Structure 1
Amino acid sequence: MTMGEETPVSSLILPVLVRPILSQLERRDVTATQTLRAAFTKAEASNPGVTYDFVVGILEKGELNVNMNESILRLQGSLTDTDVVEHRLTRSEDAFQELNRKSATLKKILSRIPDEITDRKTFLEIIKEIASAIKKLLDAVNEINGYIPGTQGKRALEGRKREFVKFSKLFSNTLKEYFKAGE
């Protein structure tokens, strides 16, 4: 990955790795933490992926070999509601809160992949859970469609839904290839 390139992993480094660390640091020094949080947020907004590059640079300097995909997947499932507040819908209607719950459930299931991928039987069960969670999440997205005013908002929601379905299919195909290679 090149400097500033945005990938799913690079876009998760700030909210999944850095922000929870800053939240813990905030207990010691609120002002410094707020300054760091603002700097990371501003840098990431103007140069997506820079936080990823920063973390990778630290890992390389420390000569640490870390699988970033696996680490972020694990961390994503361990985040608390306060850690992910910026990625949660704030509308109070039940449909939006249900979407928050379905999203959190899917993330928790996905976070189990690194631990279970070597146990074929358990991993196949997780795949079934993932498929079910994706279906429930898409149902929740369809529920909120009625709350979205105007055609532009509905189109944007449909576009995001199509993108989610596309990446879900890509994920499914990757799993199929993984199992074919392992047979």
Structure 2
Amino acid sequence: MTEALLRMQSQIPEFEEQRCRRQEEPFQELNRRTFALKKILSRIPDVLYDRQVFLETIRKIASAIKKLLDCVNDITGSNGSSSSGSGFIQTYQDKRSVDQRKREFIKDSKNFSQTLKEYFKHGDGGAVLQSAAQLILATNAIQKTIKICCDPRDQTSSAIQHLNSK
């Protein structure tokens, strides 16, 4: 089941409600990076048992994770790259929400890495597929949280509270 869902992920276009609508480059880059990471993760079922291709895919995933985190840091101002130093996020509650999603994403990324180590020791491909699916969910969550916090305010604060309650 997880394998089929991962494969389908590459066929599903990005939903408009998932993408950030702001035109500033960090937000457009976030849209590109989240889509790229999910696309790479969706290939895992096809390359899992071809060691060389799988190792190359793992390298691409690691690079995509780093680039996505760099985008998130640009948006939050954590890199110091924003001229104001505080990024694009205006309120303390929004910053807290994005930081929480970022921590969850990092935790899921580390879990994915640990699952890969276990896979190379014991060969449990199902755990890799499950962990990849969880990383896609975490990717969607961080993108959606940034969208809610930073897109023009046609959303209510209850949407942020709903995301934080999950």
TM category, shorter: 0.5 to 0.7
% identical aligned pairs: 59
- The equivalent residue for 1:165 is 106
Which of the residues 52, 72, 76 maps onto 2:9?
76
Specify the alignment match of 1:181 in structure 2: 122
How many angstroms does 1:92 deviate by?
1.8
Deviation at 1:113, TM superposition (A): 0.2
Following TM superposition, by how much is the alpha carbon of 1:97 offset from its aligned partner in structure 2, in angstroms? 0.8
AA in 2 matched with 1:74: R
| d(CA) in 2 for partners of 1:148, 1:112 | 33
What is the deviation of 1:157?
A: 0.7
Is 1:150 the equivalent of 2:81?
A: no
TM-score (norm 1): 0.60
- Deviation, structure 1 residue 144: 0.9
Provide the aligned C-alpha RMSD in A: 1.4
Alignment of 1:53-68 (within 5 A): 68=1
Q: Deviation at 1:149?
A: 0.2
Bigger proportion of residues as helix = 1
Equivalent position SS for 2:108: helix
Task: Give the aligned residue type for 2:44.
Answer: I
Q: Does 2:33 align with 1:102?
A: yes
Q: Which has the larger radius of gyration?
A: 1
Structure 1: 5+ residue stretches without partners:
1-67
TM-score (structure 2 length as normaliser) = 0.66
- Taking the aligned partners of 2:71 and 2:112, their CA distance within structure 1 comes to 20
- Following superposition, the deviation at residue 148 of structure 1 comes to 0.5
Residue 78 of structure 1 and its aligned partner are, at CA, apart by 1.6
What is the number of equivalent residue pairs in this alignment? 114
Deviation at 1:76, TM superposition (A): 1.1
Instruction: Pick 1 or 2: higher relative contact order, CA cutoff 8 A, min separation 6.
Output: 2
Secondary structure of 2:10's aligned partner: helix
Gaps of 5+ in 2: 77-86, 124-166
Per the TM alignment, residue 108 of structure 1 is displaced from its structure 2 partner at its CA by 0.7
How far apart are residue 143 of structure 1 and its match? 0.9
Q: CA deviation at 1:150?
A: 1.7
